[in-house]
Amino acid sequence: MKNRITDLLKTEYPIIQGGMAWVAEHNLAAAVSNAGGLGIIGAASAPAEVVREEIKKCKELTDKPFGVNVMLLNPNADDVAKIIIEEGVKVVTTGAGNPGKYMDAWKEAGVVVIPVVASTAMAIMMERAGADAVVAEGMESGGHIGVTTSFALIPQVVDAVSIPVVAAGGIADGRGMAAAFMLGAEGIQMGTRFVAAKESIVHAAYKEKIVKAKDIDSVVTGTTTGHPVRCLKNRMTKEYVKLEREGADFMELEKLTLGSLRKAVIDGDVVNGTLMAGQIAGLIKSEESCADIISSISNEAEKLLKLV
Ligand code: TUI
């Protein structure tokens, strides 16, 4: 499959891996890139030098292009932005904010910049600032989300900008990819499907929660704090939602989630941890290799798109 996104990314397939905190480390990123997609190292809230080490380890595992995701709430984002240039990273994706202040430096260094947006306004702003493409992410996604669904957001972003659009949120198979292309997207980004991949370092208990999840098993916490996050329901989210209903303040809610993603990903604490996952978790039935995931999804999508 060749199009504007594969031209930009220099990959075989227009498939990008989400930049998920704790999950998107060098082993997963290299596996996705070696399978012909674009692997991503998620800088999340890590110190910049840790990100540099991750980039170096990824280079040892693949000679294919890979990217780094800058989470813009990260207090170390300025340093991560510099390291991306120093290490010659080919592609940057961003999340949870406006990457405007880094755009000129990245563009000057020849980095392909693909901000993740949740609205047409942000997509237009990013195109004006020099973005090469945008990821339009619907609220079906796991983690920090906007308010619009993929089905409504993707065609509106496609109409609002001339740069290519990558669809994210609620995609985990070839039907989802084909549907996104019908809405005008030229690539897809997936998170949850790769959390459950064989090469993902995520604890087996967390992967099992995804594989066993049903359609209605996710919930959005943090709507009262301005940081809505979609994750699978468990004891932590029950307590969180209860506290939110009772009008708990920000610090009280923070106490519940501090370090909770690490608890889930590394320790496999599926009771007190934050199990970030998208609504499409219910569609994921087994742990598969990144190569199998990418080839089956793109083959299925290509077959479906030829029928129309
Ligand atoms: O960023 C994500 N997903 C994430 S980031 C993350 S780390 C985190 N954990 C807890 C609370 C907050 C963050 C976990 N998952 N997806 C991409 C995304 N970006 N979704 C929504 C946005 C977004 C939001 C606001 C993009 C731009 C934006 O602009 C706001 C502004 O500055 O005007």
Dist. CA 137 → ligand 1 center (Å): 10
Are 266 and 180 within one domain?
no
Cα–Cα distance for residue pair 44/226, rounded to 1 Å: 18
- Give the domain CATH number at 87: 3.20.20.70
CA dihedral in degrees (188, 293, 268, 29; nearest 10)?
-60
- Domain of 160 in residue numbering reads as 4-201
Residue 166: half-sphere exposure toward Cβ, Cα within 13 Å = 30
157 with 242, same domain: the answer is no
Which amino acid, 302? Answer: E
* pLDDT of 307 above 90: no
Strand spans (E) along the chain: 15-17, 39-42, 66-71, 91-95, 112-117, 134-137, 143-144, 165-168, 187-190, 218-221, 229-232
pLDDT 10s digits, 182-212: 999 999 999 999 999 999 999 999 999 999 9
Answer yes or no: do 163 and 223 share one domain.
no
DSSP 102-164: HHHHHHHTT-EEEEEESSHHHHHHHHHHT-S-EEEE-TTSSEE--SS-HHHHHHHHHHH-SS-
Q: Is the pLDDT of residue 152 over 80?
A: yes
- φ, ψ of residue 35 to 5 degrees: the values are -85, 0
pLDDT at 10: 98
More confident residue, 192 or 225: 192
Domain-located, residue 142: yes
* Residues 23-32, mean pLDDT to the nearest whole number: 98
- Alpha-carbon Rg for the chain in angstroms: 18
Give the whole-angstrom CA distance, residue 28 versus residue 25: 6
Q: Are residues 106 and 190 in the same domain?
A: yes
- Average pLDDT score over residue span 139-162: 98
Q: What is the arithmetic mean of pLDDT over 7-18?
A: 98
Q: In this structure, are 104 and 243 located in the same domain?
A: no
pLDDT of 308 strictly over 80: no
Instruction: Report whether residue 145 contacts ligand 1, using a CB cutoff of 6 Å.
Output: yes
Please check whether residues 59 and 128 belong to one and the same domain: yes
- The average pLDDT across 221-241 equals 96
> Is residue 54 domain-shared with residue 111, that is, in the same domain?
yes
Q: Is 306 a domain residue?
A: no
Residue nearest to atom 8 of ligand 1 (CA): 144
Sign for the CA dihedral angle at 2, 8, 10, 11 comes to negative
User: How distant, in Å, are the alpha carbons of 92, 202, 208 from that of 195?
Assistant: 20, 7, 11
> Tell me, what's the pLDDT at 92?
98
Quick one: CA torsion of 222, 224, 226, 232, rounded to 10 degrees?
20
Rounded Cα gap, residues 46 and 41, in angstroms: 11
pLDDT of res. 88: 97
- Per-residue pLDDT, averaged over 247-259, amounts to 92
pLDDT-derived band of residue 29, with 50, 70 and 90 as boundaries? Answer: very high
Instruction: Supply the residue whose CA is at minimum distance from atom 3 of ligand 1.
Output: 144
Instruction: Please report which confidence band the pLDDT of residue 162 belongs to, taking 50, 70 and 90 as the band edges.
Output: very high
What does the pLDDT read at residue 293?
98
Residue reference for tokens 């991306």 = 84
| Cβ of 229 below 6 Å from ligand 1 | yes
> How many angstroms is it from 271 CA to the middle of ligand 1?
24
295 within a domain of the structure (yes/no)? no
Instruction: Say what percent of the chain tops pLDDT 70.
Output: 100
User: Do residues 158 and 254 both lie within one domain?
Assistant: no
Smallest CA separation from ligand 1 atom 23, residue: 96
Mean local confidence (pLDDT), 114-139: 98
Task: Tell which residue, 139, 159, 135, has the closest CA to residue 151.
Answer: 139
Q: Are residues 94 and 243 in the same domain?
A: no
Same domain, 30 and 111: yes
| Residue 140 pLDDT | 98
- The residue contributing the CA closest to ligand 1 atom 31 is 97
Distance 300 CA to ligand 1 centre (A): 30
Residue 97 above 80 pLDDT?
yes
Number of compact structural domains in the chain? 2
| Whether residues 21 and 145 fall in one domain | yes
